[in-house]
Amino acid sequence: MSSIAPSSTAATATPTGTMPTGTKPTGIDSTPAVRSRLGREGLLALLGKALILLVALFLTLGPVVWTLWVAFTPVDESGHHTLSLAAFKDVFTKVDVWRLFWNSILVTGLSAVGQMFTAALAGYAFARLSFKGREWLFGLILATMMIPMQVTIVPVFMLIRGMGLSDTLLALILPALPTAFGTFLMRQYFMNIPESLAEAAQIDGASPWRVFWKIYLPLATPGLAIVGILAFNGIWNEFFRPLIMTISEQNFTLPLGLVSLQGQLGTGSMSTVLAGVVLSMIPALIVFIFGQRPLREGLTAGSVK
């Protein structure tokens, strides 16, 4: 029986039909219909992302834009909104804005600097010093982050009153000096610094304090910037602790003092209240503008080796 050799142009069966043996499968269907469908899907995905971003933009900037609009366009006697600074003038006439600013700057500044100092010392101790119970104590400090302020405010108030510091600015500063988050953050920064630097300094006769002050602390400046900026923003906007710790108006901070702009039973002008809010935003905005670069460097420092 004679055998017949297969022709070079014979077709090979495929799941989608027959394909000549001399051609190579591309793996991608490049027909116009498929390209059109992929184009529509990409357009829909792009529109979906744009919609999500617009919603996030509205939720983020919407309250800010509304606050600025109401503050700069108070309602006049005829009931119409007019562009003026009358609401800001009312703020300065109804409350002692300069005293409120001074109290807030003093409390916030000293608390932020104190948190930077205590976080650096505690973080260095947990990162580079060996002592019994170090890990257990560090875990206990981290556990305090889970306890809300409302739970500890009563014992803290009793301690402050026992020290004779109730209704003073020190009652707001001293409890804010320790920071569990700052301790954790600085510990991580110090652990990323090579230990060989400290060993070389100790060989040259440097004391432990000098190793910390001259070597480790300058290298951890981005971490200190993060602790300081976050502490400033948090304490500047704080309302609950000043409400509990202070009684006299001369010791009120800015968020607490602006409450009086609402008037009795909330009968005050909304434009005046929001004008005070706009004034309170200025220092935090200044700190963010000047601290944006060290904050960005601090957040990305751990990702670069």
Q: What is the pLDDT of residues 39-89, one digit of tens each?
A: 777 778 888 888 999 999 999 999 989 999 988 988 776 767 788 888 899
Per-residue pLDDT tens for 87-125? Answer: 899 889 888 899 999 999 999 999 999 999 999 999 999
Per-residue pLDDT tens for 148-175? Answer: 888 999 999 999 999 999 899 999 999 9
Please give the pLDDT value at position 171: 93
Q: What is the dihedral of CA 289, 295, 296, 298, to 10 degrees?
A: 160
Over 80: is that where the pLDDT of 16 sits? Answer: no
Quick one: which of 215, 218, 186, 187 has its CA closest to 201? Answer: 215
Over 80: is that where the pLDDT of 3 sits? Answer: no
Over 70: is that where the pLDDT of 297 sits? Answer: no
Chain mean pLDDT for the chain: 82
Over 60: is that where the pLDDT of 29 sits? Answer: no
Please give the pLDDT value at position 95: 87
